[in-house]
Chains A and B, each alone.
Chain A
Amino acid sequence: MSYDWSVVWRHADLLWEGTKVTIFLAVTTMIIAVPGGIVLALMRLSGIRILAAASATFVEFFRNLPLILVIYTAYYILPVATGLRFSPIATAIVALSLNVSAYNGETFRAGIASIRKGQSEAGYALGMSRTRVMFEIVLPQAVRRVLPVLASTWVSLFKDTSLVSVISVGDLAFESMRVRSQTFRVLEMLTAMAVIYWLLGYPQAKLVDWINKRYRVNE
Chain B
Amino acid sequence: MIETQAKPGRGESGSVPTVSYHEIRKRFGTFEALAGVSMEIYHGEVVCLIGPSGSGKSTLLRCTNGLETMDSGDIKLDGKSMPKDWNGMRGVRQRMGMVFQNFELFPHKTALGNVMAGPIGVLGKPRKEAEQRAMDLLRKVGLVDKAYSYPAQLSGGQQQRVAIARALAMDPEIMLFDEPTSALDPETIGEVLNVMKQLALEGMTMVVVTHEMAFARRVGNWIVVMDRGAIVEQGRPEQIFDAPAKDRTRDFFSHLGWSG
**Residues of A that sit less than 8 Å from B by CB:** 118-119, 121-130, 132, 136-137, 140-141, 144, 217-219
Q: Given that A126-B170, A127-B90, A127-B91 are contacting pairs, would A136 and B102 also be in contact in the complex, using a CB cutoff of 8 Å? A: no
Q: Which of B39-47, B92-100, B128-136 lies at the interface?
A: B92-100
Determine whether B150 belongs to the interface, using a CB cutoff of 8 Å to chain A. Answer: yes
Query: How far apart are the CA atoms of A162 and B108 in the complex, in Å?
Result: 38
Q: How far is the CA of A35 from the CA of B73 in the complex (A)?
A: 44
Among candidates B96, B100, B122, B170, residue contacting A122 with C-beta atoms closer than 8 Å: B100
Which residues does chain A contribute within 8 Å of B91, judged by CB atoms? 127
Q: For A144, list chain B residues within 8 Å (CB).
A: 108
Q: Which residue of A lies closest to B68 (CB)?
A: A121
Q: Given the complex, which residues of B lie within 8 Å of A128, measured CB to CB?
A: 90, 117-118, 121-122
Instruction: Indicate with 1 or 0, residue by residue over B141-184, a CB within 8 angstroms of chain A CB atoms.
Output: 00000000011100000000000001100100000000000000
| B121 engages A219 (CB within 8 Å) | no
Given contacts A127-B90, A127-B170, are A136 and B151 in contact (CB under 8 A)? no
List residues of B (109-135) whose CB comes within 8 Å of A's CBs: 117-118, 121-122
B65/A125 in contact, CB under 8 A: yes
Pairwise interchain contact B67-A121, C-beta atoms closer than 8 A = yes
Interface residues of B in 31-58 (CB under 8 A from A): none
Provide the B79-97 mask, 1 if CB < 8 A to any CB of A, else 0.
0000000100011011011
Instruction: Write the residues of chain B forming the contact surface with A, with a CB cutoff of 8 angstroms.
Output: 65, 67, 86, 90-91, 93-94, 96-98, 100, 102, 104-108, 117-118, 121-122, 150-152, 166-167, 170
* B104 & A121 in contact (Cβ 8 Å cutoff): yes
CA distance A118 to B183 in the complex (A): 14
With A126-B170, A144-B108, A219-B152 in contact, do A121 and B100 touch (Cβ < 8 Å)? yes
Complex contacts, A137 vs chain B, CB 8 Å: 106
Query: In whole Å, how far is A219's beta carbon from the nearest beta carbon of chain B?
Result: 5
Known: A118-B102, A126-B117. A141 touches B122 (CB 8 A): no
Contact of A118 among B93, B100, B150, B152 (CB under 8 A): B100
Instruction: Give A124 to B170 CA distance when docked, in angstroms.
Output: 13
Q: Which residues of B contact A141 (CB under 8 A)?
A: 106-108
When distances are taken between beta carbons in the complex, the residues of chain A under 8 Å from B121 are: 126, 128, 132, 136
Are B100 and A219 in contact, CB atoms less than 8 angstroms apart? no
Given the known interface contacts A119-B104, A132-B121, A136-B121, the answer about A126 and B166 at a Cβ–Cβ threshold of 8 Å is: yes
Contacts of B67 in A (CB 8 A): 121, 124-125
State the CA gap A122–B102 with chains docked (Å): 10
